[in-house]
């Protein structure tokens, strides 16, 4: 359907051509002499209106009421001009083939259903306009991400999902457990289920073949090893956080994009983050026009103008100290205290992007070292580190990054100060022992980018199968 309707003439250039469309019925309207079927194949937002008259082969299925919302069908026909105002062309059917009937209990009927309800139907929600559009824009953002980094000479590196390190040091890791069947009988009798220790079938060891291991919270430390060999690299993969937060911006499983730049400082890092964000925003504005118009009308009014601004305007930059001062001056009561040395909460971040700088992305840099991770490069003031967070309206923190501490003695002293074991970071310290270079990078939460780019309020609606505390169905 996208192939026919996506062209400049919206299909008028194909009048008289024959066409076969395979898809799922959105609506069916029977009139005395003809039946109209709105068919969607997921390639774009638009449906193909199929006009079926009684002489079409397979019309008996229509008459028998077999073709209902949700059913999958194939329609063969000829593209003709449409007298309707909603589309330029329609498909005059000569043959209609039923593929899979849809039970009358199909939960997504035409009337608008809430997004909360659709989360309980995650297996069927991609059949709706909203979730189809989110999936296509998410795909376009992923494609544009690879395109941006590849065009700029970055090498894509896969970072491990199972790891012994806690990059962020926040202790928010899921533990990996090994299931070892005690015997072949135990394995056979388990029949795909997970037997418990009580059943005496499985030896649950609390570790990864005898060593502690976790699901990664970030691929950064691994990316640093490749950046100090191949120069600029990036990762793009799943990461996990065992934080028990039920907010509209947190997932237990999310995808992160983590570029790491060699021979680079914090300014290079901020320039890269800005260029990347502007590139992917421009990409979807140019390549996902129909879906973006849909978001602009139905999800967030004005999102296209807002993104157009993001694509061309400079981002605001200020230091953490200036950000705290502007919050202290704010004529607003915050729930969490504002004080130099305290982390900024999402209410503070939103105030800065939405009120102080009215809707523009803001980069805050030079945070107090106490509230940031061990690997960040210390500034000369002895109090702050070369860190940056990029904040956007509505979502808050989209990117977190820093210049990394490349000086061996200072990094070792910091590990000691934080009582972190130098032994377990031996390989990370080696990078500072053998040809250390200034380097910097950042992490961008992909679902937060999808939220920002589509206007979806809740991060659960930016991920096909969201994982939040207690929910791992589907
Ligand atoms: O700020 P964070 O924790 O930074 C790091 O992990 C660094 N190691 C990144 C780096 O420098 N290579 O996370 C980076 C980003 C955040 O800005 C946010 O967009 C996203 O990851 N993020 C989450 N997204 C969804 N759900 C969560 N629970 C998230 N936690 C972080
Ligand atoms: Mg962060």
237 touches 256 (CB < 8 A): yes
- Count the domains in the chain: 2
| Distance of alpha carbon 303 from alpha carbon 117, whole angstroms | 25
Which has the minimum average pLDDT: 117-131, 249-263, 347-361?
347-361
Q: Is there a single domain that holds both residue 67 and residue 137?
A: no
Same-domain status, 26 and 140: no
CA neighbours closer than 13 Å in the CB half-sphere of residue 51: 15
Q: How far is the CA of 407 from the centre of ligand 1 (A)?
A: 24
Q: Is the CB of 455 under 6 A from ligand 1?
A: no
Does 153 lie in the same domain as 42? no
Question: For 226-305, where are the E strands, in sequence order?
Answer: 233-240, 253-262
In-domain check, residue 106: no
CB 237, CB 196: distance < 8 Å: no
Q: Does residue 153 sit in the same domain as residue 11?
A: no
Return the residue whose CA atom lies nearest to atom 18 of ligand 1.
Answer: 445
Residue 119 lies in a domain: no
Cα Dmax for the chain: 84
Residue 125 lies in a domain: no
CATH at 367: 3.30.930.10
Domain match, 96 and 240 both: no
Residue nearest (by alpha carbon) to ligand 1 atom 4: 400
Statement to judge: residues 236 and 96 lie in one domain = no
Q: Which of 55, 77, 100 is the last residue of a domain?
A: 100
Same domain, yes or no: 12 and 153? no
Q: How far apart are CA 361 and CA 357, in angstroms?
A: 8
Indicate which residue's Cα is closest to atom 27 of ligand 1: 250
- Indicate if ligand 1 lies below 6 Å from the C-beta of 466: no
| pLDDT at site 371 | 96
Residues of the domain holding 393:
131-159+230-461
139 lies in some domain: yes
pLDDT tens-digit profile of 356-399? 998 889 999 999 999 999 999 999 999 999 999 999 999 999 99
List C-alpha distances in Å: 329 to 242, 319, 333.
35, 15, 11
Domain membership flag for residue 203? no
> How far is 411 from 380, CA to CA, in rounded Å?
14
Query: Are 379 and 320 in the same domain?
Result: yes
Which of 51, 77, 100 is the last residue before a domain boundary?
Answer: 100
Bridge partner list, 319:
365
Choosing from 243, 428, 445, 461 the residue with most ligand 1 atoms within 8 A of its CB, the one to mutate for a pocket test is: 445
Same domain, 371 and 432: yes
Q: Are residues 250 and 151 in the same domain?
A: yes
Q: How far apart are CA 261 and CA 441, in angstroms?
A: 6
**What does the pLDDT average to over 223-239?**
98
pTM over 0.90: yes
Q: Are residues 412 and 284 in the same domain?
A: yes
Residue-wise pLDDT tens digits, 264-274: 999 999 999 99
What are phi and psi for residue 11, nearest 5 degrees?
100, -15
* pLDDT in the model for residue 473: 85
Average confidence (pLDDT) over 8-30: 96
Ligand 2 geometric centre to CA of 400 (Å): 5
Give the Cα-Cα-Cα angle 284, 290, 292 (nearest 5 degrees): 50
Pairing of β 253-262 and β 439-445: antiparallel
Give the CATH number for residue 49. 2.40.50.140
Would 326 be classed as within a structural domain? Answer: yes
Q: Would you give the distance in Å from CA 269 to the centre of its chain?
A: 21
Q: State whether 57 and 148 are in the same domain.
A: no
């Amino acid at each position: 359907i996208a192939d026919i309707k996506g062209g400049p003439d919206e299909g008028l250039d194909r009048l008289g051509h024959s066409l076969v469309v395979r898809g799922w019925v959105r609506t069916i309207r029977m009139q005395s002499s003809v039946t109209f079927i709105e068919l969607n194949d997921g390639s774009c937002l638009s449906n193909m209106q199929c006009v079926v008259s009684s002489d079409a082969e397979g019309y008996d299925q229509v008459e028998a009421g077999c073709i209902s919302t949700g059913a999958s069908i194939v329609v063969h026909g000829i593209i003709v001009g449409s007298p309707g105002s909603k589309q330029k062309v329609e498909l005059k059917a000569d043959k209609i083939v039923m593929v899979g009937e849809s039970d009358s209990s199909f939960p997504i009927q035409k009337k608008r259903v809430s997004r909360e309800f659709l989360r309980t139907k995650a297996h069927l929600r991609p059949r709706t306009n909203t979730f189809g559009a989110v999936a296509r824009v998410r795909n376009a953002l992923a494609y544009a991400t690879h395109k941006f980094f590849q065009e700029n000479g970055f090498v894509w590196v896969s970072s491990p999902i199972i790891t012994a390190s806690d990059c962020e040091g926040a202790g928010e890791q899921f533990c990996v457990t090994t299931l070892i069947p005690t015997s072949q009988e135990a394995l056979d009798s388990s029949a795909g289920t997970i037997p418990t220790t009580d059943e005496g079938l499985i030896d649950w060891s609390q570790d990864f073949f005898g060593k502690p291991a976790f699901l990664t919270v970030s691929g950064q430390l691994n990316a640093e090893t490749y950046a100090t060999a191949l120069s600029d690299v990036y990762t793009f993969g799943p990461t996990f956080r065992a934080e028990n937060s039920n907010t509209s911006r947190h997932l237990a499983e999310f995808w992160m994009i983590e570029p790491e730049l060699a021979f680079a400082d914090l300014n290079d890092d901020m320039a890269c983050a800005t260029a990347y964000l502007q590139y992917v925003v421009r990409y979807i504005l140019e390549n996902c026009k129909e879906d973006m118009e849909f978001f602009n009308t139905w999800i967030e009014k004005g999102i296209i103008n807002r993104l157009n601004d993001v694509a061309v305007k400079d981002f605001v930059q200020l230091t953490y100290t200036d950000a705290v001062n502007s919050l202290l001056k704010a004529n607003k009561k915050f729930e969490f205290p504002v004080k130099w040395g305290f982390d900024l909460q999402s209410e503070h971040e939103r105030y800065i992007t939405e009120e102080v700088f009215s809707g523009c992305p803001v980069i805050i840099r030079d945070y107090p070292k106490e509230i940031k991770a061990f690997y960040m490069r210390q500034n000369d003031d002895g109090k702050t580190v070369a860190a940056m967070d990029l904040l956007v309206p509505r979502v808050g923190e989209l990117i977190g990054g820093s210049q990394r501490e490349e000086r061996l003695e200072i990094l070792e002293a910091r590990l000691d100060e934080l009582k972190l074991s130098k032994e377990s970071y031996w390989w990370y310290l080696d990078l500072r022992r053998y040809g250390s270079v200034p380097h910097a990078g950042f992490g961008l939460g992909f679902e937060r980018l999808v939220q920002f780019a589509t206007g979806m309020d809740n991060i659960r609606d930016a991920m096909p199968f969201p994982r939040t505390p207690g929910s791992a169905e589907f």
